[in-house]
């Protein structure tokens, strides 16, 4: 039996904390409790051994919708990870839209497009209920304009990818697969007031096929057009990720694979995010904070005894630039 104890210590002040993680194999509850009291007793000593890292907890904001109004989110993306993607791998990030609700927003979007050249728009109402249309639009646009792309990445504008980890995990992956956070044996929501409600008319089956959840997923370049063609054979419903990466992928015979390391950031820490592939529900302000912190934090683990590990974060040279290896997209 395996036990994992995660203990956070505040030895000096609430804004400064030290993280220890014990991964214990066998020993049961007694060993877990002994480890807990060990940390309680020696936390001030342990925290003095390693450099302290001032961090803060992330708040869990409302999910930012991918709409023309999200100017602040797009600005943060352009300043941070989209800039790094272009700088280190030559990949350009594009923003997809339908038609906004009024002429003023449309004019602002056209001005933004002229300024940055990274907006793709089609003629349907831009609303949350139309996310499936927007994702089909992505496949259509990519198959027509990027037929040689090895991968197409769909990411929400409240997600923040750790590009170094993402490129490392994707290196050498097959180009005929969909990758991301795999969901298995999920059931549709039948409560009429639920955000992702599906009636039996919309989706008569009791269970979704395996699918990749929608915060961020990767479509292999060889199956982009195949997946797009399948959307013409599968009736639309508004739960975008289970529709495209579940129903359409099943119809097209496309494999879905869990991307090891995918992490959905909610009330997490920068140290944990340092190991992640992407974080979700990130505000523009947090996006800027994470981007700068990623350049300053070093995450390390040391084996103390048997299967007991001590993991910590510490600052590194702030003048060092972000290093991204193995660009594959």
Number of domains in the chain: 1
d(CA 133, CA 140): 10
In a domain, 23, yes or no: no
Contact 218, 256 (CB under 8 A): no
Range of the domain at 121: 71-258
Q: Which residues contact 302 (CB under 8 A, 6 or more apart)?
A: 309, 310, 311
Q: What is the pTM of this model?
A: 0.73
d(CA 149, CA 244): 19
In a domain, 8, yes or no: no
Specify the pLDDT at position 95: 94
CA nearest 161: which of 280, 69, 73?
Answer: 280
Contact 145, 118 (CB under 8 A): no
Specify the pLDDT at position 268: 61
DSSP 207-264: SPPSEEEEEEEEEEGGGHHHHHHHTTTS---S-HHIIIIIIIHHHHT-EEEE-TT---
Q: Which residues contact 271 (CB under 8 A, 6 or more apart)?
A: 19, 53, 55, 297, 299, 311, 312, 313
Report residue 9 as tokens. 């210590």
Contact 58, 282 (CB under 8 A): yes
Report residue 50 as tokens. 């390693």
Cα angle, residue 99 at apex, residues 137 and 85 outer, rounded to 5°: 55
Kind of pairing, strands 95-99 and 119-125? parallel
In a domain, 40, yes or no: no
Specify the pLDDT at position 230: 97
In a domain, 46, yes or no: no
Specify the pLDDT at position 33: 42
In a domain, 60, yes or no: no
In a domain, 155, yes or no: yes
In a domain, 185, yes or no: yes
Sequential pLDDT tens for the chain (329 residues):
333 333 333 332 233 333 333 333 333 444 434 444 444 444 443 333 332 323 222 222 222 334 566 899 999 999 999 999 988 888 889 999 999 888 999 999 999 999 999 999 998 888 887 889 999 999 999 999 999 999 999 999 999 998 988 999 999 999 999 999 999 999 998 988 888 889 898 889 999 999 999 789 999 999 999 999 999 999 999 899 999 999 999 999 999 999 877 665 554 667 777 778 888 888 999 899 888 887 777 767 677 776 676 777 777 765 555 555 444 45
In a domain, 269, yes or no: no
């Amino acid at each position: 039996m395996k036990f994992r104890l995660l203990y956070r210590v505040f030895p000096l002040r609430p804004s400064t904390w030290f993280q220890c993680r014990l991964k214990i194999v066998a020993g049961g509850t007694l060993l877990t409790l002994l480890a807990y009291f060990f940390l309680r007793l020696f936390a001030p000593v342990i925290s003095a051994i390693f450099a302290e890292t001032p961090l803060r907890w992330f708040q869990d904001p409302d999910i930012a919708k991918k709409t023309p109004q999200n100017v602040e989110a797009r600005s943060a993306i352009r300043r941070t990870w989209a800039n790094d993607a272009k700088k280190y791998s030559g990949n350009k990030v594009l923003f997809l839209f339908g038609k906004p609700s009024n002429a003023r927003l449309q004019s602002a979007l056209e001005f933004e497009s002229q300024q940055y050249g990274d907006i793709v728009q089609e003629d349907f109402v831009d609303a949350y209920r139309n996310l499936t249309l927007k994702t089909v639009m992505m496949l259509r646009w990519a198959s027509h304009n990027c037929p040689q792309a090895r991968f197409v990445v769909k990411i929400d504008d409240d997600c923040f990818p750790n590009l170094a980890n993402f490129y490392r995990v994707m290196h050498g992956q097959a180009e005929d697969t969909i990758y991301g956070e795999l969901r298995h044996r999920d059931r549709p929501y039948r409560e009429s007031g639920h955000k992702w409600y599906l009636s039996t008319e919309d989706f008569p089956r009791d269970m979704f096929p395996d699918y990749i959840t929608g915060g961020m997923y990767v479509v292999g370049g060889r199956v982009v057009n195949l997946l797009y063609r399948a959307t013409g054979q599968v009736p639309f419903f508004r739960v975008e990720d289970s529709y495209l990466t579940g129903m359409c992928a099943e119809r097209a015979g496309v494999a879905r694979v869990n991307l090891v390391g995918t992490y959905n950031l909610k009330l997490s820490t920068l140290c944990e995010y340092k190991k992640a592939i992407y974080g979700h529900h990130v505000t523009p302000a947090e996006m800027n904070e994470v981007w700068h912190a990623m350049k300053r934090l070093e995450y390390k683990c040391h084996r103390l005894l048997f299967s007991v590990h001590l993991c910590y974060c510490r600052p590194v040279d702030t003048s060092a630039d972000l290093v991204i290896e193995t660009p594959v997209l």
